[in-house]
Amino acid sequence: MQRFKFALTITPLILLFAITGAGHPQSKPLKKIRVGVPSVGMGNIIIFVTKEGKLFEKYGLDAEVITPGHYSHRDADGHRG
């Protein structure tokens, strides 16, 4: 009989915590990071899959994937060859 009373008391509390989300940590602001990839290709596809699958967000990161532009940094500085 005591087990029944205990179960009758604890079950609503468990349901209350599950429904309201109590006991879960507060969501922290995401940490901004930049992820650079040397080229867009099969060797670097995991970065894009991770971004699209929202795995960065799952682990508290706001990732910006940076891919190379039309020309290199050396060309942007005016230094060639």
Q: Closest Cα partner for 51 from 35, 67, 38?
A: 35
Domains in the chain: boundaries: 2-77
DSSP 60: T
Least confident of 10-24, 36-50, 64-78: 10-24
The burial class, CB within 10 Å (0-12 / 13-18 / 19+), for 65 is middle
* Residues 12-44: tens digit of each pLDDT: 666 555 665 544 455 789 999 999 888 888 888
Rounded CA-CA distance 69/48 in Å is 17
3 state SS of 11: helix
The type of residue at 14 is I
Instruction: Evaluate if pTM is beyond 0.75.
Output: no
